[in-house]
Amino acid sequence: MDKALIAHAQGLHGTLIVPGDKSISHRSIMFGALAKGTTVIDHFLFSDDCKRTLAAFQALGVPITIKGDQVTITGVGFNGLKAPKQPLDLGNSGTSTRLLLGVFSKQPFPIQFFGDASLSKRPMQRVIGPLSQMGAQITATNNDFLPLTIAANQKLDAVEMTVPVASAQVKSALIFAALQADGVSKLTEIAQTRDHTERMLRQFGGKIDKDGLTLTIKPQNQFVAQKFRVPGDMSSAAFFALAATLVPNSQLRLAQVGLNNTRTGFLDVLSRMGADFRVENVDSKTAEASGDVIVTSSKLKATTVHGAEIANVIDEIPLIALAATQAEGVTEISDAAELRVKETDRIETVATELRKLGANIETKPDGMIVHGPTALHTVTSDQVDSHGDHRIGLMLAVAALVSDSQLTLTDASAINVSYPNFFTDLEQVLD
Ligand X SMILES: C=C(OP(=O)(O)O)C(=O)O
Ligand Y SMILES: O=C(O)C1=C[C@@H](OP(=O)(O)O)[C@@H](O)[C@H](O)C1
Which residues bind to ligand X, rule: CB under 6 A? 49, 93-95, 315, 342-343, 391, 418
Cβ contact 235:22 at 8 Å: yes
Residue 200 touches which member of ligand Y, ligand X, none, C-beta under 5-8 Å by kind: none
Helix H segments across 217-370?
A: 234-246, 265-272, 309-312, 317-325, 346-355
Q: Does 389 bind ligand Y (CB under 6 A)?
A: no
CA–CA separation, 423 vs 160, rounded Å?
A: 46
Per CB under 6 A, the list member of 23, 226, 290, 303 interacting with ligand Y is 23
CA–CA separation, 429 vs 15, rounded Å?
A: 7
CA 135 to chain centre: 28
Residue 342 or 356: the one with the smaller Cβ distance to ligand X is 342
Per CB under 6 A, the list member of 124, 177, 314, 327 interacting with ligand Y is 314
Residue 353 touches which member of ligand Y, ligand X, none, C-beta under 5-8 Å by kind: none
User: What amino acid is encoded at 187 in this protein?
Assistant: L
Residue 49 or 198: the one with the smaller Cβ distance to ligand X is 49
Cβ contact 333:321 at 8 Å: yes
Q: Does 194 bind ligand Y (CB under 6 A)?
A: yes
R_g (Cα) of the chain, nearest Å: 21
Residue 167 touches which member of ligand Y, ligand X, none, C-beta under 5-8 Å by kind: ligand Y
Distances in Å between the Cα of 342 and the Cα atoms of 128, 223, 313, 314, 348 are: 18, 32, 13, 10, 11
Q: What residues numbered 333-372 form the site for ligand Y, per CB under 6 A?
A: 338
Residue 194 touches which member of ligand Y, ligand X, none, C-beta under 5-8 Å by kind: ligand Y
Q: Is 346 annotated as a binding residue?
A: yes
- Residue 74: helix, strand or coil by DSSP? strand
Minimal distance in Å, beta carbon 99 to ligand X?
9
- 51 burial class (0-12, 13-18, 19+ CB within 10 angstroms)? buried
Minimal distance in Å, beta carbon 194 to ligand Y?
6
- Which residues have a Cβ under 8 Å from the Cβ of 7 and sit 6 or more positions away? 400, 406
Residue 95 or 105: the one with the smaller Cβ distance to ligand X is 95
Q: Is 51 annotated as a binding residue?
A: no
The one catalytic residue among 49, 292, 315, 425: 315
Residue 373 touches which member of ligand X, ligand Y, none, C-beta under 5-8 Å by kind: none
Q: Is 167 annotated as a binding residue?
A: yes
CA–CA separation, 172 vs 365, rounded Å?
A: 27
Cβ contact 351:361 at 8 Å: yes
CA–CA separation, 303 vs 83, rounded Å?
A: 51
Residue nearest to ligand Y as judged by C-beta position: 23
Clarify whether 283 is annotated catalytic: no
Q: Is 391 annotated as a binding residue?
A: yes
Q: How many CB atoms lie within 10 A of CB 182?
A: 12
CA–CA separation, 343 vs 389, rounded Å?
A: 6
- Which among 138-146, 166-174, 264-272, 392-400 is the span making contact with ligand Y, rule CB under 6 A? 166-174
Minimal distance in Å, beta carbon 169 to ligand X?
6
Residue 93 touches which member of ligand Y, ligand X, none, C-beta under 5-8 Å by kind: ligand X
Query: Under the rule (CB under 6 A), what is the footprint of ligand Y?
Result: 23, 95, 167-169, 172, 193-194, 314-315, 338
Annotated binding site for 3-phosphoshikimate: 22-23, 27, 167, 169, 315, 342
| Residues with active-site annotation | 315
| Annotation: binding site for phosphoenolpyruvate | 22, 94, 122, 169, 346, 391
Please give the annotated binding residues, written as ranges: 22-23, 27, 94, 122, 167, 169, 315, 342, 346, 391
